[in-house]
Amino acid sequence: MPPPITRVVLATHNAKKLDELRRIADAAGSGLQVVGLDEVGTYPEPAETEDTFEGNALIKARAAAAATGLPALADDSGLEVDVLNRMPGVRTARWAGAKASDEANRRLVLAQIDDVPDPLRTARFVCAVALVLPDGTEYVLRATMEGRIALAESGSNGFGYDPIFVADGNTVTNANLSPEGKDAISHRGKAVRAMVSRIAGLNETAATQEGR
């Protein structure tokens, strides 16, 4: 039985993602210490070659666990727009080009559905979170946030497509929500909370086995 998980590396250099995961883990009372790649050294990062969020999350988590010797978390998240045949999908971060900015990606999505009426602008954010332990054990969880694409950008919080996404039950974009408000309903918030719960369960099992 592997030892309890108290420290994990998040396979990202994205400071906003790291802050978000730490915030969610702390709110869940997990006691986990979450470190980013910038804190544990560099290694050749793998190409995200899979055509599913789950596959790409596993690629990143496997590489981080192998390079650092720590339990590794990685997420792969993206936007699915129904009238775009659920694209951008796994190409969400590079929809307007390999080195496109968040703003360029948002502009392209808005332009592509410019003539689509509000009722048909349904979309969702998807997040797959992978946990890979140093012994090779793997877990993957998936969550979604349903909503629609706004007619124009609004708000300055969040990142990525937040300024053009309105979650079901809301009248404003994610970029108008507080960080805590977004965490409560977001795809990543749901997936991370579920993974934190899974880690807690693994730790309880480890403690029980050790006490026998």
76 annotated active-site? yes
Distances (CA, A) of 110 to 1, 106, 152, 157, 158: 50, 6, 7, 19, 18
> Could you say which of 76, 82, 115, 135 is catalytic?
76
- For the chain, helix (H) and strand (E) counts, in that order, are 5, 7
Cα 101 to Cα 23: distance, rounded to the nearest angstrom: 25
Q: Which of 138, 143, 142 is nearest to 58 (CA)?
A: 138
Instruction: Please report how the helices 187-211 and 15-27 are oriented relative to each other, as an axis angle in degrees rounded to 10.
Output: 60
Q: Which of 98, 94, 116 is nearest to 160 (CA)?
A: 94
Cα 188 to Cα 180: distance, rounded to the nearest angstrom: 12
* Catalytic residue positions, numbered: 76
